[in-house]
A and B are shown apart, each in its own frame.
Chain A
Amino acid sequence: MKQNDQQYILKIEDLSKQFSQKTIFSAINFDISKGEIVALLGPSGCGKSTLLRMICGLETIENGSISFADADEAVIDTEMKNIRQSVGLIFQKPVLFPHLNVAGNIILGMSKPPSRKLRYEVTEKYLEDVGLSGFSTHSVETLSGGEAQRVCLVRALISEPKLLLLDEPFSSLDVKSRRKIAIETKQILKKKGISALHVTHDPEEANLISDRVIKWQDLVN
């Protein structure tokens, strides 16, 4: 950590990204406080998803730094494994493994999975929070888009991440479902005190889910 400031959970300083000598973005600076939900609002293809992938260690950092509250120094490539353990990520399209049922997918988010006997009991408790009681034995292929995304949310939260990254997770849902799930997600995050960075191109969704909205053009200018 460059500054030992415990107020923020994530601090991004002068971060840039290039692909094959093409600059995606340069000198980005912002931070997220503990328990805060921030929405990053920008048009499609501007580099929001790349930023999220850099935060969770799926893309390399060449210039600038990404710091976490509990890290000793600015995070560089070699520490990506540590980052992955403290962040959760939900993709635009739900990624649920079809060879596992709902409970099996959720268990993947637990560092100490319960025994087979307790598996359904444990996952049911979490599923209740997102209105999916009784779904733990369901095949993931029978779920609707909204249900699948809720299971992804449970799986991301069950690992108790310090920061949750949401990469336009509701964009494939209809407007009504999108509003409903955005409000529910905010309630759950607040209840658990988890910070989140939500990227979207929809201003309404950004306002619904977040405590603070950052516009992409303000970041890059």
Chain B
Amino acid sequence: MNNLLSRNKYFNYFNIAISLSAVMAFAIISFAPLFFAIERLQMVTGQSVISSISTFADRPANMDALSFTIIEASVSALATVLIGLPIAWHLARGQWKHVRLVRALLAVPFVTPAIVAAMGFLALISKGGILWNFGIDLRLETGFIGALSDTFGWQHPGHFIALILAHAWFNLSLVIRFVEPPLATFDPRWEEQLSVLPGGNTRLNRLRNLWIPFIGPAVACAGMMAFLFSFTSFALVKWLTPFSQTMESSMANMGGAAGIEGYRLDASVVILSTSVIQFIILMLTLILITILQRRNNSRVSMISENIARHNRGKISKSGMLIISLGIIFTLAPMLSIFLSSFKIRSAIGNGQFTERYSFDAWMAAWQGDLSYVAASEAMANSLIYAIVTLMIALPLGWILSSTIHSLEKSNKMKLAKIVDVMSMLPLAISAVMVGLGILLGILRYNSNLFGFFLLPVLPHVMLTTPFVVRIMTPAMRAIDPVFEHQARLLNLNPVMCWWHGRLSFLRGPAVVAASLTLAFSLGEFGASWILVRSGSWDTLSILVDQLMSRPKFDPMVQPVAMATASMLMILTFILFFIAERFRPSGDGGGI
């Protein structure tokens, strides 16, 4: 018995040491580059962080970027909720044959790399694309879109609408992930009870007395998340609204010239003030999301999803129509990319073109040429970065989650909250800000590191670890401690207790976290664009951007870019469907 107790004591010390190391490592990885970046910008500009806030408004372009960012993010959040809510409602309220598949299809956009989404919407709105064929010309803004511009003096309405649609598409799964699980497991007795009371005898009364209190916080939470992601969107803004700048894109464009003493001081001033303002807005949004998530812990009675679905019966025709439209909306940009990768146009004179379908673009993309790297090489780079990211982010996120959970179990709630918030903070720092942080905080001090092949892994770890924590922490909280207690009573050693009492329950969530880490790393664009675009280690997403940026007089440019985007898309989807396979049913937490 004494042996067992001392063995457990050493195991506990070991656990504490590991936890402390992980917390410190994450804090250093995440915040040291940003700290040094700010130090450098302050040194170069001679401004403090506080004074940089007051100089932000001095430059009209900054205010234009701020107002455009707030408008596009707010409208995108609203559009996401308006499109996502009916889909989530009908998906939850009825019996579906392949509900997991439908749910996975509708969730696909969220893991789609941003550059792939941008290419998808470009293909959708370009001449010959699906929307163009329906008479909606968002790209060249002719027809009624042009009339909108002429009538209201609205500059580039087509581009703005395309961006809003793309953001709504991208964030659609947030509404479904947040709203569908509580609705699907909602005990119908509550609805029935209200329907026999005067307080629930009309739709308006039921909305006021039941649905708004019940799913309102989840809807608001999803809307705020959509706002956050639209606010920091970069690839979509870069490609769909080329004539407008968001705060993120203006920082990205000026980042290359910032942080250098005696050179382009204006760039450093813009980066410092914009990043501070953006950080404040994102922090406030995150705080609001945290408050809403706390309210979202619904106390209304839940029952098994299968029983609830059975009680509600078959899905209505209108529900079927809405879900079908949702799936078409989800798949349209992806199908557009895929089709565009085979479509090669040839000029036949007089501004006329012929189109033929072939695998030429796929072959060209795979082999590369003197002016761009081969997709095979970019894919190898992407996979290496993703695997190394996984090897660091998964154990780091796991230990952080375990630390949070252990602190909660020992009733050290404040400390648990601090570690939890710290692990979330990189989400308040956008991908471009992370990239700039490394560029200005590390590379400007030691430019030799530009040659370090694994440099992009650093931002990838920063950006993916919070997702690992978000997936693993709820999974750890859900484990019944009785299994670990039973293992201890059976006199198993601490490793075996951990193996049987915890690991066996965490394998599913770990596969989900691993697949999504790989998928997010593969598709990461903002930070990689800052760090590797001029290097020799292009990833697939950077290659797509580079290919698409080339002059389009070569008819192969666009199909090759689309073929490369298709490869990235296929790779990401394989990982995503593996993750969905292991996701527990009714899981609405995490992402």
Contact = CB atoms under 8 A, between A and B. Distances in A.
A35 interface: no
A88 B199 contact: no
Given A56-B196, A58-B195, A85 B213 contact: no
Interface string A40-63: 000000000000010011100000
Interface residues of A, number: 27
Contact of A97 (B195, B198, B201, B213): B213
Given A95-B189, A97-B209, A99-B213, A159 B198 contact: yes
17 contacts: A81-B201, A84-B195, A84-B201, A88-B197, A89-B196, A91-B189, A91-B192, A95-B189, A97-B209, A98-B300, A99-B214, A99-B300, A100-B209, A108-B194, A108-B199, A110-B198, A159-B197
B372 to A, nearest CB: 57
- Which of A84, A85, A110 gathers most chain B CB within 10 Å? A84
Given A111-B198, A141-B299, A159-B198, A97 B189 contact: no
Contacts of A100: 209, 213
Contact of B196 (A84, A97, A98, A141): A84
- Which of A88, A93, A95 gathers most chain B CB within 10 Å? A95
B196 A113 contact: no
Contacts of B195: 58, 84
Interface in A85-133: 85, 87-89, 91, 93, 95, 97-100, 107-111, 113
B196 A155 contact: no
Contacts of A93: 189
A113 B192 CA distance: 20
Interface of A: 53, 56-58, 81, 84-85, 87-89, 91, 93, 95, 97-100, 107-111, 113, 141, 155-156, 159
Interface string B180-217: 00000000011011111111110000000110011000
Contacts of B300: 97-99
Question: Majority SS of interface residues in chain B?
Answer: helix
Contacts of B189: 91, 93, 95
Given A89-B193, A109-B199, A155-B197, 6 more contacts: A57-B196, A58-B196, A91-B192, A95-B190, A108-B197, A156-B197
B130 to A, nearest CB: 42
Contacts of B194: 97, 108
Nearest to A165: B196
A85 B34 CA distance: 63
A58 B201 contact: no
Contacts of B196: 56-58, 84, 87-89
Interface string B13-27: 000000000000000
B201 to A, nearest CB: 6
A47 to B, nearest CB: 16
A100 B195 CA distance: 17
Contacts of B192: 53, 58, 89, 91
A89 B200 CA distance: 13
B193 A107 contact: no
Contacts of A110: 198-199
Contacts of A98: 299-300
Interface in B149-202: 189-190, 192-201
Contacts of B193: 89, 91, 95
A54 B189 CA distance: 14
A85 B190 CA distance: 17
- Which of A57, A87, A98, A156 gathers most chain B CB within 10 Å? A98
Given A97-B210, A98-B299, A109 B198 contact: yes
B211 to A, nearest CB: 11
Nearest to B202: A81
A196 to B, nearest CB: 14
B198 A108 contact: yes
Contacts of B214: 99
B190 A97 contact: yes
Nearest to B295: A99
B198 A85 contact: yes
A113 B299 contact: no
A141 to B, nearest CB: 7
Contacts of A113: 199
A195 to B, nearest CB: 16
Contacts of B199: 107-110, 113
Contacts of A91: 189, 192-193
A81 B214 CA distance: 23
B313 to A, nearest CB: 10
A83 to B, nearest CB: 9
Contacts of A141: 299
A67 to B, nearest CB: 18
Contacts of A84: 195-196, 201
A56 B189 CA distance: 13
Contacts of B213: 97, 99-100
Interface in B374-392: none
Contacts of B210: 97
